């Protein structure tokens, strides 16, 4: 399978990722199906659900993940991008 490193997610891929619980098995399945590393799949979950400084520098990706989260209807976790400290 061709590597998709640094390539944008296709329409619907973020929603598929966020529709599944972030279990070790699901991360492995998604990695294989989407041609992404497990680390890349974990980053999507971290951007969607972790709080704290993670993702402050990932503005565009963070906004895409949060939009996908709203489309899927996820009601918990981060709703706004973290503010960037200057």
pLDDT of residue 51: 75
Mean pLDDT of 11-24: 96
Mean pLDDT of 61-84: 84
DSSP per-residue codes, 37-84:
-HHHHHHHHHHHH--SSTTTT-HHHHHHHHHHHHHHT--SS--SPPPP
pLDDT one-digit tens code per residue, 19-63: 999 999 999 999 999 999 999 999 999 999 887 666 667 788 888
Q: Are 23 and 29 in contact (CB under 8 A)?
A: no
pLDDT of residue 85: 45
How many beta carbons lie within 10 A of that of residue 41, not counting itself? 21
List the domain boundaries for the chain.
Answer: 13-72
Helix axes 38-49, 24-34, angle to 10 degrees: 120
């Amino acid at each position: 399978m061709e590597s998709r490193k640094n390539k944008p997610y296709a329409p619907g891929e973020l929603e598929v990722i966020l529709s599944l619980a972030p279990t070790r098995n699901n991360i492995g399945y998604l990695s294989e199906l989407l041609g992404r590393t497990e680390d890349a799949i974990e980053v999507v979950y971290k951007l969607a659900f972790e709080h704290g400084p993670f993702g402050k520098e990932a503005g565009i990706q963070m906004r895409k993940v949060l939009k996908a989260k709203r489309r899927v209807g996820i009601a918990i976790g981060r709703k706004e991008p973290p503010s960037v400290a200057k």
